Structure 1
Amino acid sequence: MEYLPLVSVIIAVKNGEHRLADAIESVLSQTYEDYEIIVVDGKSTDNTEKFAKSYERVRYIWQAGQGLADAWNLGIEAAKGEFIAFLDHDDVWTPNKLSLQVDYLINNPTIQYAIAKFRFILEPECPIPLGFKKDLLDKDIVGPIPGTLIVRKSLLNSIGKFNTDLVIASDVDWFARAKDENIPMAVIPEVFLYKRVHTQNLSSNAEINNQELLQILKQSVNRQRRAKIKKDAIQQ
């Protein structure tokens, strides 16, 4: 019998009643069937809880803390799967996302995580948010972002989860830490994610985003510097 590891799909949401169903349906439409869906609700005041609980395959978690990183970490702690995947409540996957990524990791056991391409889609009748480059709407983009990621849970346990001190860029920080530690990864050159662009996108807060990106860059440079010093000391 073919080995099919369980994938835990984590969807963090807050007041997402208008878009959550599309995200969940895109998971339910996966050609890979051995998965669980964990919806982490950040204290929604709309009908998000009702919508989430209406799906039999959804495990619903109320988030006592706050922030996206905390929601992802809650989902990871609750996850039963060997592999972890993430989907924003306002985005959707292609049906082959999990099957191709799981197959790749099974056949390449040294690879600890894989990402893929994604495409932005502008919400109907929504103006392009300030700071968003319009030409990105016409491109397939290689995405080191949670929505394209599939990762072995063992890696999240070893290098750490998401930094809850960061409001927006905790995912950028995680990918930077993985890169600095030379974790084996792969890019699957296919579009697996359609990422909605609208005025409520968290990343549209440019000031906070830029501050956090600068902080992450400094931390990454320091990690690389320490790693080089340690390597040079071993070689002497």
Structure 2
Amino acid sequence: MKKSNNPLVSIIIVVKNGEKFLQTAIESILNQSYKNYEIIVIDGNSIDKTPIIVQSYSQIRYFLQNSQGIANAYNQGIDEAKAELLTFLSCDDIWTYDKLKIQVDYMINNPKIQYVVGKVKFFLEERNLPPSGFKKELLEEDHIAKIMETLMVRKNVFEKIGKFNPEFLIAEDTDWFARCQDAKIPMKIIDKVFLYKRIHNNNASLNDPQYNQYILKILRESIHRKRKNLTDTKLCY
């Protein structure tokens, strides 16, 4: 069967009390040059105007989160996704207008590649100071970013390595990317800025004191997987 040159893309937004920046994020989707997409919003039971904002857009499929935690919210979005190509956007970030088009074209032309990421440009929200965990020099130039908001991934990758681990209350994406790398899932870094990432006082992971503990746990688990893979490889000979 011939592959479509205009495949559906599922865009997943996970949000809780994101009224301040949510509309700008959604508009950056609606302004995409690539138009064949669905938008899925998983709302962690917001008590602000988030539900009103989301439901004002007829294009959005809106769901209340049926569990707790960011990882479970992402997983719910994945389960609801109708497309084979999945992307993710945070409620306080902004995509470049050509993000979907460039990534879709690459995935069509390179069927062996299972996911792609790109570059990010950080910017500081007006009248905000960088959180204590943020390195100010990151504001000075573009950076390669293996993060959810620059990602486009084939849905079957989640079948191969699993979805996001709810054990990680933050850094769930770091764990997932580490599992992809350890499993040698074919990927590509596209040398293009796809994301403007807003830095502000309420950036969740940057303000969480447990972040470093989760990173250490992810590193330990990655080392364990690599050792197991090496042992299994030796046993095959």
TM-score bracket for the superposition, by shorter chain length: over 0.9
1:62-73 matched pairs, under 5 angstroms: 62-73=64-75
Aligned to 1:81: 83
The DSSP-based 3-state class of the residue aligned with 2:5 is: coil
Aligned to 2:40: 38
Supply the AA of the counterpart residue of 2:149.
Answer: G
What's the TM-score once normalised by structure 2's chain length?
A: 0.97
Supply the AA of the counterpart residue of 1:30.
Answer: Q
Q: Is the CA contact (8 Å cut-off) linking 2:133 and 2:207 kept in structure 1?
A: no
The DSSP-based 3-state class of the residue aligned with 1:27 is: helix
Query: How far apart, CA to CA, are the structure 2 residues paired with 1:190 and 1:161?
Result: 26
What's the TM-score once normalised by structure 1's chain length?
A: 0.97
1:205-220 matched pairs, under 5 angstroms: 205-220=207-222
Supply the AA of the counterpart residue of 2:162.
Answer: G
Alpha-carbon shift at residue 205 of structure 1 (Å): 2.9
Aligned to 1:150: 152
Aligned to 2:105: 103
Aligned to 2:226: 224
Query: How far apart, CA to CA, are the structure 2 residues paired with 1:131 and 1:171?
Result: 18
Alpha-carbon shift at residue 3 of structure 1 (Å): 2.4
Aligned to 2:142: 140
Matched, 1:234 2:224: no
Matched, 1:5 2:2: no
Supply the AA of the counterpart residue of 2:63.
Answer: I
The DSSP-based 3-state class of the residue aligned with 2:191 is: strand
Alpha-carbon shift at residue 93 of structure 1 (Å): 0.1
Supply the AA of the counterpart residue of 1:12.
Answer: V
The DSSP-based 3-state class of the residue aligned with 1:126 is: coil
Supply the AA of the counterpart residue of 1:120.
Answer: F
The DSSP-based 3-state class of the residue aligned with 2:210 is: helix
Deviant stretches of 4+, over 3 Å:
none
Unpaired stretches in structure 2, ≥5 consecutive residues: none
Task: Provide the aligned C-alpha RMSD in A.
Answer: 1.1
Q: Is the CA contact (8 Å cut-off) linking 2:161 and 2:180 kept in structure 1?
A: yes
1:46-195 matched pairs, under 5 angstroms: 46-195=48-197
Determine what percentage of the aligned residue pairs are the same residue: 50
Alpha-carbon shift at residue 217 of structure 1 (Å): 0.3
Aligned to 2:18: 16
Matched, 1:28 2:64: no
* CA deviation map 1:164-214 (0-9, x unaligned): 111111000000000000000000000000000011111123531101000
Alpha-carbon shift at residue 157 of structure 1 (Å): 2.0
Supply the AA of the counterpart residue of 1:93.
Answer: W
* CA deviation map 1:113-145 (0-9, x unaligned): 000000111010001111211110012110000
The DSSP-based 3-state class of the residue aligned with 1:207 is: coil
